Amino acid sequence: MRETSQDTIALPLSGQAAFVSGGGKGIGRAICLNLAALGASVALTGARDMAAAEATAADIRAGGGQALALPMELADRQSVDAAMERAVVALGRMDIVVNNAGASRRGRLLDLSSEDWAFVFAVQTLGFFHLAVAGARQMIRQGGGGVIIAIAGASALRCYPGNGAYGPSKAAVLSSVQQMAVEWAPHDIRVNAVLPGPIRPAEVDWQAKEPALAEEVGRIPLKRAGTPLEVAQAVAYLASARYVTGQNLVVDGGSTTTWYING
Ligand SMILES: NC(=O)c1ccc[n+]([C@@H]2O[C@H](COP(=O)([O-])OP(=O)(O)OC[C@H]3O[C@@H](n4cnc5c(N)ncnc54)[C@H](OP(=O)(O)O)[C@@H]3O)[C@@H](O)[C@H]2O)c1
């Protein structure tokens, strides 16, 4: 934080506009609330649950921040472009774009339909391309500078049976991040990925509903699931880390280094 000439404390992201896909629940909601708490104005999107997206925006406004909720389907380029355009009209500019929304269809590869494979890639990989390009075009129009952050997943680095196209689609996001980072660096646009491991809300008894996952997280180095806020904190770091681009920030309690450890 820096002090202004009026001796008031300026928040680190004051004056910056952010766009977050899938802000109504889970990790996306935490990212929106945290960016707003750091001073950013926030456009967030919903798809099938607009009420949840509206609730996040209302919570930000109730706390004194600026926010709006927009409908957006990541797999549909026109929908993404329209949402970005509405966000820029409402917020005046775009500085931070976070592609958080994701979707999966589980299944072992021998049973997976090509429709299921294509669906997961359409939302997670093609959708990231749509949103990142829409954000970068706006950043370039306003003179350059800005950051694009993909919420990928530790599954991009290690696979487990039955997870369908999820890991492959997230791995393609990591390569896309590097491609974008190289192509857009001349515009001072940084592009990075956050790779969460198992993330569950700390205040909910998810262990009762997911005993197998609870047993697994007991064997990773930090011996617990991460929280949505802990992913949001990684996003906030990347939003401000001005010499970091093309990188993967793994937020997984150490699980990818020692997955399925004992003791
Ligand atoms: N939770 C974890 O353990 C974990 C671990 C690693 C990575 N991740 C990644 O982190 C991100 C958030 O995960 P989460 O668990 O918080 O997800 P979540 O609770 O399932 O929420 C998914 C969000 O994505 C939106 N969405 C889904 N399909 C969409 C589409 N086709 N177009 C636009 N928006 C769409 C949803 O909006 P509506 O509800 O309005 O439809 C919702 O806001 C995802 O990319 C996920 O892969 C999560």
- State the SS3 of 200-260: CCCCCCHHHHCHHHHHHHCCCCCCCCECHHHHHHHHHHHHHCCCCCCCEEEECCCCCCCCC
* Ligand 1 center from residue 67 Cα (angstroms): 19
Q: Is the CB of 72 under 6 A from ligand 1?
A: yes
Is 166 known to be catalytic?
yes
Residue 23 is predicted with a pLDDT of: 98
Q: Is the CB of 164 under 6 A from ligand 1?
A: no
Residue 259 is predicted with a pLDDT of: 56
Which atom, in ligand 1's list, is nearest to the CA of 73? 32
Q: What is the mean pLDDT of the chain?
A: 95
Q: Is the CB of 100 under 6 A from ligand 1?
A: yes
Quick one: average pLDDT of 143-154? 98
Give Cβ neighbours of residue 146 (< 8 Å, ≥ 6 apart).
Answer: 94, 95, 96, 97, 135, 136, 139, 188, 189, 190
Q: Is the CB of 48 under 6 A from ligand 1?
A: yes
Fold category of 9-250 in CATH: Rossmann fold (3.40.50)
Residue 152 is predicted with a pLDDT of: 98
Question: 228-240 vs 26-37: helix axis angle to the nearest 10?
Answer: 50
Whether residue 223 has pLDDT greater than 80: yes
Quick one: average pLDDT of 75-79? 98
Residue 6 is predicted with a pLDDT of: 56
For the chain, what percent of residues have pLDDT higher than 90? 90
Name residue, tokens 């609870």. 214
Residues in the chain: 263
Tell me the C-alpha distance between 135 and 173, whole Å.
Answer: 16
Name the residue with the closest Cα to ligand 1, atom 24: 101
Three-class secondary structure of residue 163 per DSSP: strand
Q: Which of 33, 100, 105, 224 to mutate to test the pocket of ligand 1 (most atoms within 8 A of CB)?
A: 100
Residue 164 is predicted with a pLDDT of: 94
Quick one: average pLDDT of 93-99? 99
Which atom, in ligand 1's list, is nearest to the CA of 75? 31
Residue 260 is predicted with a pLDDT of: 58
Residue 1 is predicted with a pLDDT of: 47
Domain ranges of the chain: 9-250
Q: Is the CB of 217 under 6 A from ligand 1?
A: no
Whether residue 98 has pLDDT greater than 60: yes
Residue 261 is predicted with a pLDDT of: 53
Return the CA Rg of the chain: 18
Quick one: average pLDDT of 59-83? 98
For the chain, what percent of residues have pLDDT higher than 70? 95
pLDDT digits (tens, 9 = 90+) for 225-239: 999 999 999 999 999
Which atom, in ligand 1's list, is nearest to the CA of 22? 43
Quick one: average pLDDT of 57-66? 98
Whether residue 212 has pLDDT greater than 60: yes
